[in-house]
Structure 1
Amino acid sequence: MSTQTSVSPPKQGASPILHRVRGKVLLLLCVMYAISYLDRTNISTAGPTIMGALHLNATQFGIAVSAFSIPYALLQIFGGNLGERFGARKSLFWIGVLWGVATIATGFSVGLWSLVGARLLLGLTESAAFPTATSAMSRWVPPDRNGFAQGVVHSASRLGNAVAPILVGGLIIWGDSLDTFLAGWQISFLLVGLLSVIWALMWMISYRDRPQNHPKVTELELSEIPRELEKAARPATPWVRLIRTILPVAIVDFGYGWVLWVFLTWIPTFLSDTFDLPLSKYALFTSVVLVGGVVGDTVGGVFADFLLRRTGNLRNSRRTVLLVGLIGSMVWLVPLLFGHTLAVATVSLSLSFFFLELCNATLWAIPMDVAPEWSGTASGMMNTGFGVAGIFSPIVFGAMVDSVGWQWPFGLSIALLAAVAVVAAIMKPRRVLPLGVDDVADAR
């Protein structure tokens, strides 16, 4: 049996995404990704307000933000495997309901430890979300559109990031104007949490784990999906092969995740402290910065798939995008080490975030490329790097801000990007085959 990974030429004619049931599946997942990041990053926009209301300093607030990532990191692999076992339909329904409850609980925090508890619950419930969604995509999306699919859904997550400062900031201001027993920041968490529950109901009604069981799927659409992925049962998980293949990708994801958490956690506070901006203004400038990620995710996914279809070489197509993204993000953070104006900081941060997000779709596409039968488990392994980064990045960054200001924390982020760019340059993603097949082919 040949172990060489081949890439089928693209089919001519209609798009395999548009006018298909899978297009509606991707749309539902886009909404989920947007809500999930709105749920997990609304705390950053509300951060200065929460710190004042609960009497927290930057280090304590960093601890609260990092609490999300402890169960998120530790349960990625387990969550992805669990999602594969029970199916994405039921798994994502319960995940959506429970993370909605966790978001609402955040709004009722009364101190550091109740805030930490709510964030722990949110991390626990969301730990299986993206690996399970990746498993769902691998069963519906043609392999040569993996990068595009991941780019689109992660662009939606960055849209959630970009909308969060304006939406949450507006809800806080609106809530404070009401004569209720809840503060504006508490009302914002209550309303955002309800969105998750509504989405979960829509997903349960609309999605099917097996494409052939969907009442509106056509034979043409089924023909575009690899036949082995239509099976109800998965082959046994080859744990050693998966770990060996995904570990370098997880290391790159750690560096990417470290810097992403800086953007998601500290940009509102950085703009507020450095330029003495009120909530309405720092929320607007934060949204401007985060819009760069919306564009970067889709561009990165489309470009990676274009290179793959053009060259047929998985390793080079994925590696090229990662290197451009990591190095570009590093370069555009450098101006923050020197004196700068609000305009310079906004442009530098926006471009750095754009380049950083070129990496995101590619990182998530690699597990689909090399282990489509176990894409939930493999993507959980990969995203463990992001989760571990989320445990340390907010705490370390916040502690450094308290002790030495903003320049050194940004300098550390630049150094990490340089280090993981080296790992990305030398890693070799390999196609993982089922147990009983002795050799593993380069994904090229």
Structure 2
Amino acid sequence: MSMTSYGKSPGHVAPDSLGGTRDDAEDINEANAALYRKLTRRILPFLFLAFVVAYIDRVNVSFAKLQMLADLHLSETVYGIGAGIFFLGYFIFEVPSNLILDRVGARRWIARIMVTWAIVSCATMFAHDATSFYLLRFLLGVAEAGFFPGIVLYLSNWFPSARRSQIIALFMTAIPVSGAIGGPLSGWVMSHFAGTYGLAGWKWLFVVEGLGSLVVGIAAFFLLYDRIDSVKWLSADEKARLAADLRRDAATRVDHSVRGAFASGRVWLLGLTYFCIAMGNYGLAFWVPTIIKASGVASIANIGWLSAVPSLISAVAMVLIARHADRRGERRRHVAVCCAIGALGLLASVQFASNVGVSLIALVIAAIGINSIAPVFWGIPTAMMGGAGAAAAIAVINCTGNLAGFVSPFVVGWLSDLSGGKLLPGMVAIAVALVIGALLVLTTPARQSRTLS
């Protein structure tokens, strides 16, 4: 069946302005919608699962902290450095990793990334002092480098920019869902396995959750596809229509070299913007259990269940907000408003920390704002650039932003020690960063230029 013939007679309807018929146009739109629903069903679930286990392995240290600091005699500052040093390894190897993925394909490289980080995550059980903790967290960052920007690049090769914020939002709901799953799971593992074979609960946490990543990493080698023509579940007509859509989308962008991406002031400005955004992401991810504990909840299992509430609610909100941004064709103000909402929620969560209910509501508001930022934000750079430079630019933006993963927990931990254990000074710093991010994104031109200079 051809792209323009779906069994309806054009003689019974008025022609549209392009010379076809309205019914023909509607049929084409319906066929395209069905095509992208199929792509979403086939591609997104596995990528979603991969990001869930990735994020759990990245931030499960926030739960391990509840037992590990006392066992290893570590301070809040040491925890902050250890949690954040992950992102130094991530930063150093991010761009090379994404360039390798662009060359060898997602199937092999994503599988390699996941298997490697699973092994390092399991090995974190052997941390016995500050130095070993730092080393293992750094190696985990090296292992995971390139995963997220690689997936963003991969999705841009399957979905045109007009659909991309929604797709990235669906993918990134893995972040709050990982919190919803990882919180109760971490609490259960640490409580249930504590003392088994003489190992502390936090050690079992790294082993059990690391093994989950290993299984998913091996599966990635068999389930990912690098090219449209290698997919068996698309018909020839669907492949042709998808290829045509992607060619039209590519025509709106200019190919850039790797050197051009590094030389682009706009790329670095977007990187700085993402740094401010990520300050909020990791301020939330690494400190939610501590904020809930500070409100008077003592049981680790209960902390795990309560930490799932903001995650679950924000997962729905981030998809709705991204869909609204795509429909309106506007991303800057959406990002800025979400930054402001996230900042206010974080401040309120610690300001009213003595009240479990109020603090939890504030964390829900913070999670809605903070978790909704990135899916909309990533629609901006992926609509600007193409070619080999796109892989480098996406990696530059992501790794620059993710330096906040080092700065955020370090600053909050340091300010907490400095103020006698109070969380408010650290959350103020995170809120200020989010406000700066809101102001920076508003400097991005409303209509993206076709150059990156």
TM-score normalised to the size of structure 1?
Answer: 0.87
The separation in 1 between residues aligned to 2:375 and 2:269, in whole angstroms, is: 16
Match of 1:107 in 2: 125
How far apart are the structure 2 equivalents of 1:96 and 1:214? Answer: 22
Equivalent residue in structure 2 for 1:367, among 357, 362, 381: 381
SS in 2 for 1:99: helix
- Tell me the equivalent position of 2:230: 213
Structure 2: segments with no counterpart, 5+ residues: 1-24
Which 10-residue stretch deviates more, 145-154 or 134-143?
A: 134-143
- Partner amino acid, structure 1, of 2:437: V
Question: How many angstroms does 1:64 deviate by?
Answer: 0.9
| Alignment of 1:227 onto 2:247 | yes
- Write the distance in 1 (CA, Å) between the matches of 2:169 and 2:193: 34
Secondary structure at the residue paired with 1:12? Answer: helix
Q: Which amino acid aligns with 2:277?
A: Y
Assess if the C-alpha contact under 8 Å between 2:53 and 2:212 holds in 1.
Answer: yes
**1:174-189 paired onto structure 2 within 5 Å:** 174-176=192-194, 178=196, 180-189=197-206
**SS in structure 2 at match of 1:295:** helix
Q: Cα deviations across residues 309-352 of structure 1 (Å, max 9, x unaligned)?
A: xxxxxxxx111210121111123234246445111111111111
Cα-to-partner distance string for 1:169-188 (whole Å, 9 max, x where unaligned):
1011111163x132222122
AA of the residue aligned to 2:372:
L
For the residues of structure 2 that align with 1:26 and 1:92, how far apart are their CA atoms?
Answer: 14
SS at match of 1:255: helix
Task: Decide whether the 8 Å contact of 1:100 with 1:197 is kept in 2.
Answer: yes
Query: 1:6-405 counterparts in 2 under 5 A?
Result: 12-14=29-31, 15-16=33-34, 20-176=38-194, 178=196, 180-218=197-235, 219-224=237-242, 225-227=245-247, 237-241=257-261, 243-275=264-296, 277-308=298-329, 317-336=330-349, 338-340=351-353, 341-373=355-387, 374-404=389-419, 405=422
8 A contact 1:56–1:112 mirrored in 2 = yes
Q: 1:281 to 1:229 in 2, by over 3 A?
A: same
**1: CA distance, partners of 2:312 / 2:269:** 29
CA distance in 2, matches of 1:432, 1:206: 36
Residue 424 of structure 2: aligned partner: 407
- CA contact 1:332–1:351 (8 Å) conserved in 2: yes
Deviation readout 1:102-153 (Å, 9 max, x if unpaired): 1101122222221211111111111100111112111111321110111011
Task: Give how far 1:86 is off.
Answer: 1.6
Corresponding residue number in structure 1 for 2:20: none
Aligned-residue offset at 1:361: 0.3
CA positional deviation for 1:229: 8.6
CA distance in 2, matches of 1:278, 1:207: 40
Deviations 1:400-427 (A, max 9, x none): 0111122211112222222221111112
Q: Tell me by how many angstroms 1:263 deviates.
A: 1.1
* Matched residue SS, 2:257: coil
Q: CA deviation at 1:247?
A: 2.0
Could you tell me whether the CA contact under 8 Å between 2:261 and 2:390 is conserved in 1?
no
The residue that corresponds to 1:4 in the other structure is: none
Larger radius of gyration: 2
Deviations 1:345-399 (A, max 9, x none): 1111111110112211022222221114344322212212332111111111101
1:233-255 CA-partner distances (Å, limit 9, x unpaired): x9662533563232222122111
Per the alignment, residue 438 of structure 2 pairs with 421
Q: C-alpha distance in 2, partners of 1:135/1:441?
A: 17
Higher relative contact order (CA 8 A, sep 6+): 1
TM-fit CA distance, 1:431: 5.5
Distance 2:291 2:425 in 1: 13
Residue 18 of structure 2 aligns with which residue? none
Equivalent pair of 1:241/1:432 in contact (CA under 8 Å): no
Give the whole-Å Cα distance in 2 for the aligned partners of 1:413 and 1:241. 29
**RMSD of aligned Cα (Å):** 2.6
- Cα 1:155–1:257 change in 2 (3 A) is same
- Secondary structure of 1:98's counterpart equals helix
The 10-residue stretch of structure 1 (243-252 or 205-214) with the greater mean CA deviation from structure 2 = 243-252
1:87–1:209: 8 Å Cα contact kept in structure 2?
yes
Structure 1 range deviating more: 331-340 or 319-328: 331-340
Cα 1:235–1:254 change in 2 (3 A) is: closer
Tell me if structure 2 keeps the 8 A contact 1:134–1:376. no
Deviation at 1:53, TM superposition (A): 1.6
Change in Cα spacing, 1:296 to 1:380, as seen in structure 2 (3 Å) is farther
Please give the per-residue CA displacement for 1:36-89, whole angstroms capped at 9, x wherever unaligned. Answer: 001111111121111122111111111110110111123322222221122111
**Contact 1:300–1:361 under 8 Å retained in 2:** no
SS of the residue corresponding to residue 275 of structure 1 reads coil
Question: Which stretch shows the higher mean deviation, 374-383 or 251-260?
Answer: 374-383
> In terms of mean alpha carbon deviation, does 420-429 or 234-243 score higher?
234-243
1:257 Cα deviation (Å)?
A: 0.8
Residue ranges of structure 1 left out of the alignment (5+ in a row): 1-8, 309-316, 434-439
3-state SS of 1:37 partner = helix
Secondary structure of the 2:30 match is coil
CA distance in 2, matches of 1:241, 1:41: 30
TM-score by length of 2: 0.85
Provide the rounded CA distance (Å) in 1 between the counterparts of 2:370 and 2:109: 30
Secondary structure (helix, strand or coil) at the match of 2:194 reads: helix
Which residue identity lines up with residue 333 of structure 1 in the other structure? L
Name the amino acid aligned to 2:376.
T
Query: Helix, strand or coil for the counterpart of 2:69?
Result: helix
| Contact 2:256–2:385, Cα closer than 8 Å, also in 1 | no
CA distance in structure 1 between the partners assigned to 2:375 and 2:161 by the alignment: 14
